[in-house]
Structure 1
Amino acid sequence: MSTFTIGDRAIGAGEPTFVIAEAGSNHNGDLSLARELIDVAANAGADAVKFQTFRAENLYVEDSGEADYLDDDRSMYQLIEDMEMPYEWIPKLHRHCRDRGVYFMSTPFDERSVDELAEYVPAFKIASYTMSHHPFLEYVAESGLPVLMSTGAHEMDEIRDAVEVFRQSGLSEFGLLQCVASYPAPLESSNVSVVETLRDEFGVPTGLSDHTLDPTIAPSAAVALGADVVEKHITLDKSMDGPDHQFALEPDELSKMVDSIQKTEKVVGDGVKRVLDVERELEDIARRRIHATTDISAGDRLTEANIAVLRSGNRRNGLEPKFYDEVLGATVTEDIPKDTGITWDVLDSE
């Protein structure tokens, strides 16, 4: 599987999960609020804070109507226009992220936004609804920066087409994120197994862009299945005005998510089956071995009447049970007290 880096963080199998706190447009047009969201992400241990950079005129037809899923009288065009992040914020947010030890990222939705961001981001994020905009994907690929792309509201064939655009454009450093483009997304719709499907199909790092309300279930399940990246929206308060606050994580929930991801990584382990140090004591005590069940004198033969397969406890371990049939009938060369483990050195070599 291919790997790449975002800043100095390696993205791929065997690496810690790259956690993106999606601030999106939850800054509500307030630069100080945007900085607070960065602080929340940094305090929780996220790796990056991602905003969104767009202009309504490049995103929606002007007479776009209202979004039925939002309780808002504004047209979709007006709503997007009100959520625009000023370009002059970009270096300021980048600087604040740098000071707080997290990466600044933002999703561009048009070519100018790509150009404005390119100097300040270590990678681009492509939103689900942009995935089928092939001319735009080509433009992003030309930047030479790594790309993470969400795949919500698209079929596998459409994902294949988008991946082919990247590869034909010479972009090899990209990852794909399973995403359900519903806000919020029902927990049962998560289908985090797609993380594996995408990895197996395309041989690139994969992850989850999650819109469920629960802070831990889908992200942790995705990590257990090998997700390299997890992205989730954040807010200071779910009750704030704006379309993306209600399904975003509040600060304590983000901390809980990061903690759950890190614990899940520890639980998953490296996949190598071996006896662990924490098992050593009980390995000796509780695994069954061949032991004497009576006092046995030198010259006696081992029979079903004087040996059995038992747990050793604190006594010397005998041979493993797989040798039971082999030692039956063997002659012992020294006295063996009851409960002693039967070992090769007390048996006649023949």
Structure 2
Amino acid sequence: MFMPKKPLIIAEIGQAHDGSLGMAHSYIDAVHRAGVDGVKFQTHIANAETTKAEPWRIKFSKQDKTRFDYWKRMEFSEDQWAGLKEHASSKKLIFLSSVFSLEAFEMLNRIGVYAWKVASGEINNVPLLNKMVDTNIPIWISTGMSDYNEISKILKIIEKPSSDITLFQCTSSYPTNPEQIGLNVIKELKEKFKYNVGLSDHSGTIFPSLAATLMGVSVIEIHVVFSKESFGPDVTSSVELKQLKELVKGVDFLYKSINNPVDKNFVSNDMKKMRNIFMKKIVTTEKIRKNEKFTCNNITTKKSQNGLSSVHWPRIIQSKSNKNLSVGHWLKNNDISKDSK
């Protein structure tokens, strides 16, 4: 097993800022301190992407009469989005934001993004995908609502020789239960489509991301909130900052572990010292006369830096002593009679 590169860890803020520009900026600072590689938002322009007839997935907001009103409250101006991108760049963070309309795409295309992130619900938005392809910027596609047939059809539409595409295993269930994670799909996506594969996780834990690291994903996207007590539709699907820090440490730990294979046949000098301290040696429990047989009743094994290793037990047992031995004597080879039978 070898991992050529550590997976990128992208902190998905989504709507955790609840429409507050100040909160959005504070999330950038917080996830930077956690050690992630990038920060991701969602860029909504209500009039361009939806109508007042859009139903609620979950009616969570008492201040927004309709889903349209909620998306409207989540909007930032182009200057504000540019400020968020500049802030992220100043922290050396990759900046991304999912777009849900052509207007949002055009705005972010002017501002600049590391890659286009296609949300699961936008995977069949061909006009939007075609616009993305024309920019020659990497495209990251979540597949949370799609089967392999739909993924294949979309890829045939947008693929070209220079395509830089990453497919994300994702389950559009909030939060995602362990039985729904679909870690097996990571391998299947790699084999079927020959593209890089990432994980977009909604479990509210770091466990799927750690498992996906071992499976060779190139990107991990995980929702983040300041607190599980926060307000918002994605809180139950998100991790807190302390968990995010643990994920960063865990991915680094696994990367180093995978890329530094251990030769089990090589015993280091340090390990030799440890063996001498921890492994048992053979010692007498009774006085033993010359020519008396060693038995389970007069010898045992205990820790010591002296004496014969307990691995010699089968040879020693029933052999004879060639001298008188006191209690607590650590056996040596010259204590064993050469003509023992």
* TM-score, normalisation: structure 1: 0.72
- Specify the alignment match of 1:144 in structure 2: 136
Pairing 1:31–2:21 present: yes
2:67 is matched with 76
Aligned-partner Cα distance in 2 for 1:163–1:281 = 54
Q: Distance in 2 between matches of 1:139 and 1:79?
A: 27
Quote the residue 1:293 is aligned against.
none
Residues 265, 83 of structure 1: CA spacing in aligned structure 2 closer, same or farther, 3 A cutoff? same
Question: By how many angstroms is 1:228 displaced?
Answer: 0.9
1:7-26 correspondence to structure 2 within 5 Å: 14-26=4-16
Q: CA deviation at 1:14?
A: 1.1
1:130 maps to 2:125: no
Q: Is 1:48 aligned to 2:38, yes or no? A: yes
Aligned to 1:57: 47
Q: Alignment partner of 2:231: what SS?
A: coil
Distance of 1:274 and 1:190 partners within structure 2 = 34
Quote how far apart the aligned CAs of 1:16 are: 1.2
Deviates more, 1:259-268 or 1:192-201: 259-268
CA contact (8 A) 1:52 1:85 kept: no
Q: What is the aligned-residue identity percentage?
A: 26
Question: What does 1:140-179 align with in structure 2 at a 5 Å threshold?
Answer: 140-168=132-160, 172-179=163-170
What corresponds to 1:187 in structure 2? 178
Gaps of 5+ in 1: 1-11, 287-312, 315-337, 340-350
Contact 1:13 1:228 in 2 (8 A): no
Q: For the aligned residues, what is the CA RMSD?
A: 2.7
Cα-to-partner distance string for 1:227-280 (whole Å, 9 max, x where unaligned): 11000011122222221233222211111111122222233337x784586657
Q: Distance in 2 between matches of 1:149 and 1:36?
A: 27
**Secondary structure, counterpart of 2:32 in structure 1:** helix
Partner residue, 2:93: 102
Given that 2:178 and 2:203 are in contact with CA atoms closer than 8 Å, whether structure 1 keeps it comes out as yes
C-alpha displacement of 1:187:
2.2
Q: How many residues align?
A: 276
Measured after TM superposition, the shift of residue 179 of structure 1 is 0.2
Distance in 1 between residues matched to 2:15 and 2:274, nearest whole Å: 59
The answer as to whether partners of 1:209 and 1:231 remain within 8 angstroms in 2 is yes
In the alignment, the residues of structure 1 paired with residue 212 and residue 27 of structure 2 have an alpha-carbon distance, to the nearest angstrom, of 24
The amino acid that maps onto 2:157 is V
Moved over 4 A (4+): 272-286
- Equivalent AA in structure 1 for residue 128 of structure 2: F
TM-score by length of structure 2 reads 0.73
Pairwise CA distance, 1:57: 2.4
* Structure of higher CA gyration radius: 2
Give SS of 1:246's match.
Answer: helix
